[in-house]
Amino acid sequence: MLPGPDENPFVNLEVPTPSEEHVTVTDDGAELVVRRCGNTSGPRLLVGHGVGFAVDGFCPMWRHLEPFFDLVLMDLRGHGRNPPATPESIDGQRIMEDMRSVVRAIAEAWGERPLWGVFHSYSGLTALRLEAIDPGRFAGLFLMEPPAMPPPDHPAHAGFDRGRLGLAERTLKRQAAFTSVGDLVAKYAGREQFSRFAPGSAEALAASLLVPDGDGWRLACAPEVEARFYATNRDDGLWQRLENVSCPVMMLAGGDDMRAGVPPALTARDLAHAGGFDFVEVAGTTHMMVLERPRFIAELARAFVMAHQDG
């Protein structure tokens, strides 16, 4: 039986030390760190996160995949374990090229093998963009609400556009400095959108987002960098290129956000329909399903890979 939303045996467990680490440098000089852990004899699985987060913060989910997969962990430019980025270096095309660099670096460092992707939000959008332009980069994609802006003729286009610009504006006002990791955890405790987190998820997330800064801590991804991701997330023609995607894709959306009419849950559903992808509405969750039901998401991702790896 799959666990309920509050079951998480990895509460208070530290992020495991990777067996290998590799740094690739992009053509504009950015450093991107990829780390390897898990079962190196298993299928290779690349795990990524959404804007403003970090892959270590999703440890409550991906730890369940370690026994079965050759896990490779990546952070977006300017996030997590990567060096800081400038806002000017951020746009959709650039981040897609970062994903291409990461995929290439993984093969060069640890050998050519089929690469599966488990991606939350923006990293999923980036992987899908790459696969639609350069098919065959991935053996399969497991995507949690990639925020793909609908084309102008889609009924959700205008609302999505207002939403991304509003989010960028609000992000610029975000608190960036904290006295401790516990200070950030306490802020989560007072907000409804974090109340659904499984035990240990808030602590894992907070620890992954902060880096030491003098006597205190600061966000690894500066608010102005995070805001730039949202502001530049425009329609780039992805929906018209979905027919190029050659690998299996499973698209997930939070059931509660679906019922509330919240993008990108609704656009994830429409994106799946437009691309002919599998679609799963995860009951009782929101955009943050990966931390609300971490074990369930991991089991679903594993089942997806197992169903398709010999297909």
What's this model's pTM, rounded to 2 decimal places? 0.94
Residue 203 in this model has a pLDDT that exceeds 60? yes
- Note the pLDDT of residue 202: 93
* Structure confidence at residue 311 (pLDDT): 53
Structure tokens of 143? 């995507």
**Structure confidence at residue 91 as a pLDDT band (50, 70, 90):** very high
Q: Summarize pLDDT for 271-299 with one digit per residue, the tens.
A: 999 999 999 999 999 999 999 999 999 99
Inside any domain, residue 64: yes
Q: Is 179 helix (H, G, I), strand (E, B) or coil?
A: coil
pLDDT number for residue 191? 82
Print the domain residue range for 39.
20-308
Number of domains comprising the chain: 1
pLDDT at position 35 is 97
Query: Mean pLDDT over residues 81-86, rounded?
Result: 97
Query: Nearest to residue 130, comparing CAs of 81, 94, 85, 172?
Result: 94
What is the token pair recorded at 5?
């939303």
User: Are the C-beta atoms of 35 and 8 separated by less than 8 Å?
Assistant: no
* Full DSSP string of 211-269: EEETTEEEESS-HHHHHHHHHT----SHHHHGGG--S-EEEEEEHHHHHHT-TTHHHHH
Average pLDDT, the chain: 93
Considering the domain boundaries, does residue 126 fall inside one? yes
Name the pLDDT band for 13 (thresholds 50, 70, 90): low
pLDDT at 97: 98
The residue behind tokens 């530290």 is 14
Q: What percent of the chain has pLDDT over 70?
A: 95
Given a cut of 90, is residue 57 above it in pLDDT? yes
The answer on pLDDT for 5 being more than 80 is no
* pLDDT of res. 17: 82
Would residue 7 count as lying in a domain?
A: no
Which CATH number is 269's domain given?
A: 3.40.50.1820
Q: Confidence class of residue 189 from pLDDT cuts 50, 70 and 90?
A: confident
Please classify residue 4 by burial: count the beta carbons closer than 10 Å to its beta carbon, then call 0-12 exposed, 13-18 middle and 19+ buried.
exposed
Residue-level pLDDT at 3: 37
Residue 6 lies in a domain: no
Per-residue pLDDT of 96-144, as tens digits, reads 999 999 999 999 999 999 999 999 999 999 999 999 999 999 999 999 9
Closest CA to 45 of 122, 133, 139: 139
Assess if residue 14 is contained within a domain. Answer: no
| Overall average pLDDT of the 157-171 stretch | 96
Buried b (16+ CB within 10 A) or exposed e, 23-38: ebebeeebebbbbbbb
Statement: residue 62 has pLDDT above 70 = yes
According to DSSP, residue 90 is labeled -
Q: What is the pLDDT of residue 7?
A: 47
Range of weakest confidence among 60-64, 194-198, 292-296: 194-198
Quick check: is 2 in a domain?
Answer: no
| Integer Cα distance of 251 and 265 in angstroms | 10
In this prediction, residues 193-217 reach a mean pLDDT of 93
